[in-house]
Amino acid sequence: MVNYPNGRKNTYHTAAASAAGRGMELEAEINATNTRYLEEDRAVIHKKPTPVTIVHVDYPSRNAAKITEAYFKLPSTTDYNGIYRGKYIDFEAKECTSKTSFPLKSIHAHQISHLDSVLKHGAIAFVIVRFTHLGITYYVPADRMIRFVRTAERSSIPVAWFEANGFAIPYNYVRPVDYLKIVDRLYFEDKE
Quote the least distance from Cβ 48 to its own copies, whole Å: 5
95 bridge partner residues: 130
Contact indicator for 71, 106 with CB cutoff of 8 Å:
no
For residue 164, give the DSSP letter.
Answer: H
Distance CA 148, CA 111 (A): 14
Residue (41 or 190) nearer to its own copies, CB = 41
Contact residue for its own copies among 77, 101, 106, 156 (CB under 8 A)? 77
Contact indicator for 16, 28 with CB cutoff of 8 Å:
yes
Contact indicator for 188, 85 with CB cutoff of 8 Å:
yes
Query: Does residue 173 interact with its own copies by CB under 8 A?
Result: no
Distance CA 43, CA 123 (A): 14
Query: Does residue 147 interact with its own copies by CB under 8 A?
Result: no
Quote the least distance from Cβ 136 to its own copies, whole Å: 30
* Number of residues in contact with its own copies under rule CB under 8 A: 40
163: three-class secondary structure by DSSP: helix
Residue (5 or 49) nearer to its own copies, CB = 49
Residue (16 or 43) nearer to its own copies, CB = 43
Quote the least distance from Cβ 33 to its own copies, whole Å: 16
- Let me know how long the chain is: 192
Quote the least distance from Cβ 81 to its own copies, whole Å: 6
Quote the least distance from Cβ 1 to its own copies, whole Å: 7
DSSP string computed for 53-83 = EEEEEEEEETTEEEEEEEEE---SS-SEEEE
Site residues for its own copies per CB under 8 A: 1, 38, 41, 43-44, 46, 48-54, 65-72, 75-77, 81-88, 90, 114, 117-118, 120-123
